[in-house]
Structure 1
Amino acid sequence: MSSVNTTIQLMTREEALAAGKAGREQSSCSTELSKGPWEFDLAEALAGTPGYGPGASSEDKAPQETPQQGQLPQEYKDASDAELKARILGAKAELGERVVVLGHFYQRDEVVEFADFVGDSFQLANAAKNRSEAEAIVFCGVHFMAETADMLSGSHQSVILPNLAAGCSMADMADLPSVEACWAQLEKLYGTEPDAEGRVPVIPVTYMNSSAALKAFCGEHGGIVCTSSNASTVLEWAFARGQRVLFFPDQHLGRNTAKAMGVALANMPLWNPRMPLGGNSEQVMTDAKVVLWQGFCSVHKRFTVAQIAQARIDFPGVRVVVHPECPMEVVDAADEAGSTDYILKAIQGAPDGSTFAIGTEINMVNRLAAQYPQHTIFCLDPVICPCSTMYRIHPGYLAWVLEGLLRGEVLNQITVPEATAVNARIALERMLAAKPSQAQPAAPLS
């Protein structure tokens, strides 16, 4: 199966049909995806306006302070795929154990092939922490992941993000001033005194997909970080210490996880940061068990109940597995919901000849289809639309930063100020201790 990038490059109606599964016509959500990411780096720099890249939802507006990427040297833009591959492999061989390359499941194949570890955010956080011998950690993911790696790695290590424009629109939906304003309102309503069982009125929980500043907020206020792998374990931890949970920035992960634990929807109000009490009455907030921030993932928001219904028509007996960042209606209509690692294990453990419709990012789905040809595996959404920010990382940027290390130059280093990191590490260490059932570290590639 062609990679997502190759399919987009060659995208025509006939070629898309040939690349897809029978009866599932494919198209791209943006023809701009076929361009080099450096074209968008330049356009954003000239406009003075950051962005999330082609394919991003028109509703997603990048904050003005979003990092922007400087211009990639022309030699990397002009290099062929074969030349870039040779340069990356050559640099990695010369650097040896001085560098480790981490790749998220959602990264494009043309970058993942060079990763020493591939995994979800939880696994890669552990991988970053456990590779103390590496002088440089090159994180092929997005900005908040690189921040986390910096906070968990040693002071002798540098964390590099190949393209600074690789951010996350969901992470940007909750910022520190807005969360602090929310917290002030909650403290005024709930007070700060613990109940008879010693549980405080509210515990903050931030998803890994958030800034270091918000992780620090949680560490400072008795809270914790979660990932999609350990969200239920983290909520159990929080409810043992608090009467309620403030969950941000992804409403869908919070709602789906809490609902599966038995929390009623009526006790999960949505908090709109632009409205007093988040747009809720005092009584609704008093009855709340989980206060959900008004945030979401644009990729997982694309999946629908109608897509699931169509998959069941096209492939009777299909097993539908979706990510818990999908809307509740989609999770309810699916057979199963779980993290990227859960999805991987479901496919690994299935009997040969199984058919899967997967509701998560297309790069991972296509990679699974190629790795497990004994199954029929396809993405619920027939429109090819990768994570727009993850897609900003290209082999050209990877070659650039690795060859920079050969010259003794650390390019695109991500550094979290110690004043922020000290509290963020508290919340992150709590996260790492809250291990999901059957959790496994990212496996080295052969």
Structure 2
Amino acid sequence: MPATFLPLTTRPDPPADASADASVEHVIRAIVDGRSTAETCNTDLAAGPWDFDARTGYGPGSSMGDVIPAGAPRQGELPVEYREAGEDELDARIMAAKRTLGDRVVVLGHFYQRDEVVRHADHVGDSFQLAGAARSRPEAESIVFCGVHFMAETADLLSRPEQAVILPNLAAGCSMADMADIDQVEDCWEQLEDLYGDMDAVGDDGRVPVVPVTYMNSSAAIKGFVGRNGGIVCTSSNARTVLEWAFERGRRVLFFPDQHLGRNTAKAMGVPLDQMPMWNPRSPLGGNAEDELRDARVILWHGFCSVHRRFTVDQIARARDEHPGVRVIVHPECPMPVVDAADESGSTDYIRRAIDAATEPTTFAIGTEVNLVQRLAAQYPQHTIFCLDPVVCPCSTMYRIHPGYLAWVLEGLVAGTVHNRITVPDDVAAPARVALERMLAAKPHAPGALAGAAAGVDAPRTTVRP
């Protein structure tokens, strides 16, 4: 079936030359071979990701400087036939395997996946959309999730028990998700309970002391913690709606692991910055004074996305100097000064829809992962679309998914073998599903809920009760 962006609409056919234009892999190879004067953050990106499977770390790319936990999943050796196969051969093998499997398999692809993988996806979307897609194909025996580990866990939570969820490369983790582990979060919760009292106690205002909110970019164990403690999961698509939900139930929100999404969303809702202290899990009380925490409305976790932390105000200023009239759209995982300097901010799907809705030729400077930006530039040739960061530096872990791994897991299914199945233990899965069901019920506002004033967009406002 044709790939779709969710909601389920037919994905437009790209221009005939889009494959080369949209491929970050091809760009990086040209840089390394000296055929391009562009710059990449690491020339090792031109190698196959299997070259790094035996090494500790997230691999080359935006997260290469982040510290990976000792127990992070590792990928075993990929058979040599997949490592040595060329792009055309892998394409043919993937398509043949999908034809053989038919409706028995569904391939999900995140927007940040390399173009050589996205072209084989049945559904393409952001984490919120793919969470819905995971349950939209109940007839499929297997769900192959071309994304990262927490996304595959979420698909396992939302799919039928007999469906096998497969992550083509087990090393495709997420450095942001790893910045909040379950032990740290439970320790934080205990310290906050010592300060605020019984976390389940409903006050005269009808609210509890704290409601935990975890970003989708977190482990199933963290989602289970949130479900057990009256909280909810959010994505960049529905973060505002989720915070509204949480403020109706709690006097404060503990938001993790991404500080920037939490800060940008709460600020747009009118929460003062001095009521958003940061929690450093390595310090008592997160490095805060008791009075700061008592006055807090949103307690932010010390986590971030290494992709979106690369974007700067200087990059925006340069884009405006070089392209008068440019429309700057960034992801809300970017630091607050970057979001404030942009014209708009929104999820990956918001960015795509904003470009799709532009009726006149427009120059767009986009602050999000370069694979998506390159693909949008190829799909919308009537516009000028470029990444704010001039250095080609894809998400380290998304880039671990390669057509070689996709061919391997699909041909395994044809042969009756399930490689790299992701399963969540029942004791974690039950409360995690509660938190995810709350998330799926929290429908996002119309696109543009975080749009900046410079774009002339009047974002809906929420009055946050003191």
| TM-score of the superposed pair, with normalisation by structure 1 | 0.94
Given that 1:76 and 1:396 are in contact with CA atoms closer than 8 Å, whether structure 2 keeps it comes out as yes
- What is the RMSD of the two structures over their aligned residues, measured on CA atoms? 1.1
The reply to whether residue 109 of structure 1 matches residue 115 of structure 2 is yes
Aligned with residue 38 of structure 1, among 50, 55, 65: 50
The reply to whether residue 297 of structure 1 matches residue 309 of structure 2 is no
Per-residue deviation at 1:324? 0.2
Aligned equivalents of 2:170, 2:62: Cα separation in 1: 17
Aligned equivalents of 1:288, 1:366: Cα separation in 2: 40
What letter corresponds to residue 78 of structure 2 in structure 1? L
Aligned with residue 383 of structure 1, among 391, 394, 399: 391
1:60-71 superposed matches below 5 A: 60-71=66-77
Per-residue deviation at 1:12? 5.3
Aligned with residue 106 of structure 2, among 68, 78, 100: 100
Per-residue deviation at 1:195? 1.7
Equivalent position of 2:8 in the other structure: none
**Residues 164-217 of structure 1: CA deviation (Å, up to 9, x unaligned):** 000000000000010001000111111122221210000000000000000000
Secondary structure at 1:377's aligned position in 2?
Answer: strand
The reply to whether residue 140 of structure 1 matches residue 152 of structure 2 is no
Equivalent position of 1:340 in the other structure: 348
1:227-238 superposed matches below 5 A: 227-238=235-246
What letter corresponds to residue 232 of structure 1 in structure 2? R
Equivalent position of 1:221 in the other structure: 229
Given that 2:255 and 2:299 are in contact with CA atoms closer than 8 Å, whether structure 1 keeps it comes out as yes
Aligned equivalents of 2:237, 2:33: Cα separation in 1: 37
Equivalent position of 2:41 in the other structure: 29
Equivalent position of 1:316 in the other structure: 324
Given that 2:63 and 2:396 are in contact with CA atoms closer than 8 Å, whether structure 1 keeps it comes out as no
Secondary structure at 2:339's aligned position in 1?
Answer: helix
Aligned equivalents of 1:402, 1:124: Cα separation in 2: 19
Per-residue deviation at 1:58? 5.1
Per-residue deviation at 1:2? 4.6
User: Which 10-residue stretch deviates more, 51-60 or 264-273?
Assistant: 51-60
Equivalent position of 1:263 in the other structure: 271
Secondary structure at 2:204's aligned position in 1?
Answer: coil
The reply to whether residue 363 of structure 1 matches residue 371 of structure 2 is yes
The reply to whether residue 7 of structure 1 matches residue 27 of structure 2 is yes
Consecutive unaligned residues of structure 1, counting only runs of 5 or more, are: 18-25, 45-49, 440-446
Given that 1:77 and 1:396 are in contact with CA atoms closer than 8 Å, whether structure 2 keeps it comes out as yes
Equivalent position of 1:74 in the other structure: 80
**Residues 247-301 of structure 1: CA deviation (Å, up to 9, x unaligned):** 0000000000000000000000000001111001011000000000000000000
- How many correspondences in the alignment? 425
The reply to whether residue 54 of structure 1 matches residue 74 of structure 2 is no
Per-residue deviation at 1:15? 3.7
1:93-242 superposed matches below 5 A: 93-192=99-198, 193-242=201-250
Q: Percent identity?
A: 70
Given that 1:106 and 1:364 are in contact with CA atoms closer than 8 Å, whether structure 2 keeps it comes out as yes
Aligned equivalents of 1:125, 1:292: Cα separation in 2: 24
| TM-score of the superposed pair, with normalisation by structure 2 | 0.90
Equivalent position of 1:280 in the other structure: 288
Per-residue deviation at 1:78? 1.0
The reply to whether residue 16 of structure 1 matches residue 36 of structure 2 is yes
Consecutive unaligned residues of structure 2, counting only runs of 5 or more, are: 1-20, 448-466
Given that 2:330 and 2:368 are in contact with CA atoms closer than 8 Å, whether structure 1 keeps it comes out as yes
Moved over 4 A (4+): none
Aligned equivalents of 2:246, 2:177: Cα separation in 1: 21
Per-residue deviation at 1:80? 1.2
Secondary structure at 1:182's aligned position in 2?
Answer: helix
What letter corresponds to residue 146 of structure 1 in structure 2? A
Given that 1:13 and 1:27 are in contact with CA atoms closer than 8 Å, whether structure 2 keeps it comes out as no
Aligned equivalents of 2:124, 2:341: Cα separation in 1: 29
Aligned equivalents of 1:59, 1:374: Cα separation in 2: 37
**Residues 215-239 of structure 1: CA deviation (Å, up to 9, x unaligned):** 0000000000000000000000000
Equivalent position of 1:21 in the other structure: none
Secondary structure at 2:328's aligned position in 1?
Answer: strand
Given that 2:63 and 2:397 are in contact with CA atoms closer than 8 Å, whether structure 1 keeps it comes out as no
Per-residue deviation at 1:438? 4.1
Given that 1:103 and 1:112 are in contact with CA atoms closer than 8 Å, whether structure 2 keeps it comes out as yes
Aligned equivalents of 2:308, 2:140: Cα separation in 1: 34
What letter corresponds to residue 410 of structure 1 in structure 2? V
Equivalent position of 2:13 in the other structure: none
Equivalent position of 1:442 in the other structure: none
